[in-house]
């Protein structure tokens, strides 16, 4: 799994990857490598569900729609270069996702209250 996450991360940096797929790849790699989960693991069933279903599903989508040449270059980079994605950067991305979700939720409640 760790190798696939690194392949996804290196593929996300390739200019030939479609923009939507690049964003999904960055978010997936950051979430997979982050020490912070959107759904904490101590919550029964749901806590582990994101790790067992969400991350592999996103990786499968990314690998399916990524051009073969991009995947090959990303796999070569994983084999040649040590990963440099910091856990702090990944945690920051997850925290930003939480903030965006909270803002959207609060905006939705504000619209319903009117």
pLDDT band of 85, cuts 50, 70, 90: low
pTM of the model: 0.64
- Give the residue extent of every domain in the chain: 2-113
For residue 53, the tally of other CB atoms under 10 A from its CB is 10
Give residue 95's pLDDT. Answer: 82
Residue with the larger pLDDT of the pair 58 and 113: 58
Distance (Å, whole) CA 110 – CA 87: 35
């Amino acid at each position: 799994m760790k190798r696939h996450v690194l392949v996804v991360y290196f593929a996300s940096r390739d200019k030939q990857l479609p923009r939507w797929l690049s964003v999904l790849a960055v978010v997936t790699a950051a979430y997979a490598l982050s020490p912070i989960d959107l759904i904490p693991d101590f919550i029964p069933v749901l806590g582990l569900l994101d790790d067992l279903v969400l991350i592999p599903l996103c990786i499968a989508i990314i690998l399916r729609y990524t051009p073969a040449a991009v995947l090959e270059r990303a796999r070569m980079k994983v084999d040649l270069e040590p990963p440099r994605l910091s856990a702090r950067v990944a945690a920051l991305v997850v925290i930003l996702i939480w903030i965006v979700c909270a803002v959207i939720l609060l905006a939705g409640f504000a619209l319903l209250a009117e």
